[in-house]
Structure 1
Amino acid sequence: MRRGIGCDQLIALDPSSEADVFMRIWNADGGEVAACGNAARCVAAVVSSELGRPAVTIETEDQVLGAYAGADGLVTIDMGEPRLRWDEIPLAEDFHDTSRIELQAGPIDAPVMHSPGVVSMGNPHAIFFVDDVDAIALDRIGSMLEHHPLFPERANISIAQVLSPEHVRLRTWERGAGLTRACGTAACAAGVAAVRRGLTDRKVTVTLPGGDLVIEWREGDGHVLMTGPYALDFEGTLPAQLFDAGEAQGV
């Protein structure tokens, strides 16, 4: 039986000298990561409300994100430029063209899926394009590919189904978290990967099990914009002793 509200990630907000707030992110396995698009959207909504202005900035481990919380309940995050070089993603070996790399799951002569595009949005993503995302046992394949030797920092594994030039379905196995109902950076990476393969326009709706995100890979400056809603599920207070224990362990 599940007890408590549960979560895929834990987010902590610290003071920042570069932005309105510094965001730290831990996955369910306890590992700290540099990026989470959905977390950034929620953080932007909270910080915007506290500061009383729609435009805010969020510092992460590897960049400063610009964000805008609209009166319509939608939040847009400027996720910056995708990283497409093999050593920026990173991969364990040199691939000149990361829009389609040599990797497959399943029998050699009849792979279940193959030739993913790889993208970093502050964390590494491999996106496999398939005919039907519901036909893939991502709960089994995802864990295997997450830990593939090709990914020295592990990887988020996604399967994408292109429904039209403006619409993509996506399911994601998130490193350190497993199957997830939504992953903002995966949606961004899928949008970029689809454009690089000539499968979609630069602005698409990405449908995940948890809802829709609008992803735009802006041509002018190469930045990826992610727009979607946020919702408050629960409020509570953590005991001070918990923070004392964390400080003692260097967290």
Structure 2
Amino acid sequence: MMIEFAKYHGLGNDFILIDNRLSSQPVVTPEQAIKLCDRHFGIGADGVIFVLPGQNGTDYTMRIFNSDGSEPEMCGNGIRCLAAFVAEIDGNQQENSQKRIHTLAGTITPQIMSDGQVKVDMGVPRLLASEIPTALGAENQKVIDQPLEVAGQSWDVTCVSMGNPHCITFVEDVAVIPLEKIGPQFEHHAVFPQRTNTEFIQVVRRDYLKMRVWERGAGATLACGTGACAALVAGVLTGRCDRLATVELPGGCLQIEWSEVDQRLWMTGPAQRVFTGVVEG
């Protein structure tokens, strides 16, 4: 079977997008997705995203297979790419157009802005240990600056769910973090029953954060939208940053705002098409 696809990236976090609207199930398996994501023997990507028919009154459904074949609940950079892809295949690239997208993390609403950036209502963060989920602390309490032993070192971590789990720790200099070594140890730590994404954050100013990320199921990536949102929430909870800030990732910057009125998070950033093609599935 020949499958048409488009390659997109959001700040270097790259995805294979597939128009899957004629079926309620992904047209490729997790095992096939692993092969497609291989950067030497496949197309190369951090994940494969499927645009499926909407559910529960939404316009579309988003599903994603990571480069290791696992399925995350949501992906912030990925949903910006999906919004741009949907606008293209719909033939509706009007500014300020919105779509309601069903995800495993709930309904997400991206909006294409006049400058081509995509602004996304990321919803309300979940903060209780049972919602992350994590075994750190009591299940009905928040996990804020809790000590966690990883790689022979104690790290103060704050945990946030954006529909997917995040463990955030603040450091003096993100550049010196041995990400490939300690990232997997955070991801697979026993206190995270569903594994975790891990963000290392350097506070440059109260309105400017630097971030490096180890993504669950994908490893070190150039950007993570849900991670940037979780990082800002952790910064606010620990008194380190403001509710509106720029988050600088290796692939570029995202603007993140956590509303004090309704507690919803807003993420604004780019999504760019790289190329289109056909691959044998």
Q: Same fold, TM exceeding 0.5? A: yes
1:80-91 alignment runs, 5 A limit = 80-91=123-134
Where does residue 226 of structure 2 map in the other structure? 185
For the 8 Å contact 1:127–1:190, the answer to whether it is kept is yes
Q: How far off is 1:16 after superposition?
A: 0.8
Q: TM-score, normalised by structure 2?
A: 0.80
Amino acid at match of 1:71: S
Q: What secondary structure sits across from 2:235 in the alignment?
A: helix
Amino acid at match of 2:121: D
Q: TM-score, normalised by structure 1?
A: 0.90
For the 8 Å contact 1:188–1:224, the answer to whether it is kept is yes
CA distance in 2, matches of 1:145, 1:189: 16
Where does residue 186 of structure 2 map in the other structure? 145
Where does residue 8 of structure 1 map in the other structure? 46
Alignment RMSD = 1.5
Select which of 88, 105, 116 maps to 2:150. 105
Q: How far off is 1:94 after superposition?
A: 3.5
Per-residue CA deviation, residues 97-128 of structure 1 (Å, 9 max, x unaligned), is: 31222213344xxx3x6111110111100011
User: 5+ residue gaps in structure 1?
Assistant: 243-251
Q: How far off is 1:35 after superposition?
A: 0.8
Q: How many aligned residue pairs are there?
A: 236
Per-residue CA deviation, residues 191-224 of structure 1 (Å, 9 max, x unaligned), is: 1100111111101100000110001011111111
Where does residue 169 of structure 2 map in the other structure? 128
Select which of 118, 143, 147 maps to 2:159. 118
Amino acid at match of 2:148: L
Q: What secondary structure sits across from 2:44 in the alignment?
A: coil
Amino acid at match of 2:142: D
CA distance in 1, matches of 2:264, 2:160: 13
Where does residue 247 of structure 1 map in the other structure? none
CA distance in 2, matches of 1:2, 1:51: 33
Per-residue CA deviation, residues 142-175 of structure 1 (Å, 9 max, x unaligned), is: 0011100000000011100000011000000111
Q: What secondary structure sits across from 1:238 in the alignment?
A: strand
CA distance in 1, matches of 2:85, 2:126: 28
For the 8 Å contact 1:89–1:119, the answer to whether it is kept is yes
Where does residue 236 of structure 1 map in the other structure? 277
1:42-57 alignment runs, 5 A limit = 42-49=81-88, 50=90, 52=92, 53=94, 54-57=97-100
For the 8 Å contact 1:48–1:55, the answer to whether it is kept is no
Where does residue 222 of structure 1 map in the other structure? 263
User: Whose strand proportion is higher, 1 or 2?
Assistant: 2
For the 8 Å contact 1:87–1:94, the answer to whether it is kept is no
Amino acid at match of 1:99: I
